[in-house]
Structure 1
């Protein structure tokens, strides 16, 4: 019978003592990204750009078939012309009857009826004029143009597709200073703050270390993880950087602790005749979802609000098991449980 593989929950630990530089992985993005979309629905007639194209404000991005909107505008224009003719006739009739009424040759009811017809015809002209203005505006909406200078970082459609109003057609990256978004473990998030200076390295630019500043610090963890999003902005433009490139952010943390220490949950440390110990889960190369459990003798300090101090026996990045120590043995295989 195959042995039962027990799941374990872990926490990744890092020492908090001294002055250290920590690196966090992330991806680059444009300083400003705009989702470009049409204001009307229709069939896409022409896509005028491709990914990587540099465009100026007002440049054509895409154009849809405007035939239906042009026919509607022509029909409304014809109705307006007819309404104007009817209004002229109604106004002339009203003026004629008003003259007759003033000479006692027409009744008050005839005058009121002529006035009502004139006012109704004039109102119809105003309504159709507004409809024609809207119809002509719809025609302009069949052309999608760049709102600002930038580069096309994504094209989401193909010609002859039917697209809806508001459907993303392309992504325009603008802004002169690229950004990097990284995921920061909760143990470090309190040490990040807007305005903090950091260094950025981009895989596509080997050997270059770029200056950057923290602009946003997440207040809630990303969905399904224990990491928080942090955004940094490069202090100057780098032409070789494109959205989606792999990058690392290096941040220097200075601690007032006199000696290196790790902070772990109280439930992570056990005690027996050999002393205090913790279990560390080492991910297996063949299956990263499985781990080999290793027992580490540890030296502990005080129990603080942040957790139990551990001064020796652990290393940066260790996955420390947080519960169920009595069911574990050194060398056993366990399943890593996602947090």
Structure 2
């Protein structure tokens, strides 16, 4: 009986041991310390203003015929690259050809009448010189010839005009560029000046924006700006103000200006939303200084330092960075070296932060 009880107890102990060995310890989740932070910026950040606009190529051309007719050929597709002089579309030109043939007939008739008038003038002149014709007959013959010559010259101009009308039935690319839109189809009847497509010409990209009267006097032609696009990540492009309107746009109550992007990037496309950054300074000689709040600066002997926060969401790491500071201003310490604009730095708990420590932003 005692052996049976001992055997059961031993079995239970062994079962518990094996169950304990079979359990895997759950991994401990790393607890990241929250850290308050700020971004390094230049003094006078209130002088930096951002305005929204839309990108477009420097030249947008509405393509249209200078004649009426039915489209019989259309070689235009969205995004198609074209060269200057490429044939893009053609009209049937039926009416233009009929008018041209009619003008040729009129010219031939006018030429025949001119030749007849010339022969008659020569005949009357001979008779007049012999005294067989009156002066009035001679003058009438000269007038008839002059009228016939004028009619012939007019008919020649008409032939030239009608020939141009035939040429106007062909649409050629006026510049190198890309087709931005097509709004017509083959067999469609179009009239002169009716847009059948849009060509984005030129290589430069421009931004059109409207500025309020509070800042327009600080903007000038040739002013350097920064441009960014929401569709192209965090990249910034150099830009320059190329046009400044002298008058207010009554529709928007702003002053239109135009900014040209100086950097080339095929990713920039017409129609993209853009943000243009202006830095308004009171003096051309004003030196820009980075500033940081005093609470972000630590001191260790003769050195001053900050904790820079590097990385991305979920993987931020603290790094100790030695800096050189300048004067203390109303906006904070001026930075002589050690930091760059846009860097994140801790602003609290410097005594307890460790170099290389993983944190999360608070």
Shift of residue 246, structure 1, vs aligned partner:
1.4
| Aligned counterparts of 1:211 and 1:25: Cα–Cα separation in 2 | 16
The 1:217/1:89 distance shift into structure 2, 3 A limit, reads: closer
SS in 1 for 2:232: coil
Distance 1:221 1:120 in 2: 58
Where 1:241 maps in the other structure, the secondary structure is: coil
Deviations 1:54-111 (A, max 9, x none): 2111112322221101110101101211221222122112212222222223333332
Computed over aligned residues only, the root mean square deviation of the Cα atoms, in angstroms, reads 2.5
3-state SS, counterpart of residue 159 of structure 2:
helix
Deviations 1:292-319 (A, max 9, x none): xxxxxxxxxxxxxxxxxxxxxxxxxxxx
Q: 1:205 maps to what in 2?
A: 232
Distance 2:274 2:261 in 1: 12
Q: Are 1:157 and 2:184 counterparts?
A: yes
Which is worse superposed, 16-25 or 148-157? 16-25
Residue number in structure 1 paired with 2:104? 77
In 1, distance between residues paired with 2:110 and 2:47? Answer: 80
* Superposition deviation, residue 195 in structure 1: 1.4
User: Is the counterpart of residue 39 in structure 1 residue 66 in structure 2?
Assistant: yes
Q: Evaluate the alpha carbon distance shift between residue 109 and residue 182 of structure 1 in structure 2; reply closer, same or farther with a 3 A threshold.
A: closer
Matches within 5 A, 1:48-59: 48-59=75-86
More helix by share: 2
Larger-gyration structure (1/2): 2
Contact 1:19–1:255 at 8 Å: present in 2 too?
A: no
Structure 2: give runs of 5+ residues left out of the alignment.
1-42, 284-362
Q: Which moved more, 1:245-254 or 1:25-34?
A: 245-254
Alpha-carbon contact 1:42-1:64 (below 8 Å) kept: yes
Distance 1:106 1:221 in 2: 77
Q: Compared with structure 1, are the counterparts of its residues 119 and 229 closer, same or farther at alpha carbon in structure 2 (3 Å cutoff)?
A: closer
Q: Does 1:109 align with 2:174?
A: no
The corresponding residue for 1:277 is: none
Q: What secondary structure is seen at the aligned counterpart in 1 of 2:269?
A: coil
TM-score normalised by L of structure 2:
0.60
SS at match of 1:31: strand
Partner of 1:244 in structure 2?
Answer: 271
Structure 1's 222 and 89: CA in aligned 2 closer, same or farther, altered over 3 A?
closer
Q: Residue 145 of structure 2 is aligned with which of 69, 94, 118?
A: 118
Q: How does 1:269-288 map to 2 (within 5 A)?
A: none
Shift of 1:235: 0.8
In 2, Cα distance between equivalents of 1:158 and 1:46 = 9
The separation in 1 between residues aligned to 2:53 and 2:137, in whole angstroms, is 81
Q: CA deviation at 1:17?
A: 5.5
Matched, 1:140 2:167: yes
For residues 189 and 46 of structure 1, the distance between their equivalents in structure 2, rounded to whole angstroms, comes to: 49
Q: Which residue of 2 aligns with 1:196?
A: 223
What is the CA–CA distance in structure 1 between the aligned matches of 2:231 and 2:276, rounded to whole Å?
14
Deviation track 1:131-159 (CA, whole Å, cap 9, x = no partner) reads 11111111111112222212222333333
C-alpha displacement at 1:223, in angstroms? 4.4
1:20 Cα offset (Å): 4.7
More deviation, 85-94/246-255: 246-255
After TM superposition, the structure 1 = structure 2 runs for residues 217-228 of structure 1, keeping only pairs within 5 Å, are 217-228=244-255
TM-score (structure 1 length as normaliser): 0.64
Q: 1:232 to 1:103 in 2, by over 3 A?
A: same
Return 5+ residue gaps in structure 1 as ranges.
Answer: 1-15, 257-339
Instruction: Count residues with an aligned counterpart.
Output: 241
1 or 2 for the larger relative contact order (CA 8 Å, sep ≥6)? 1
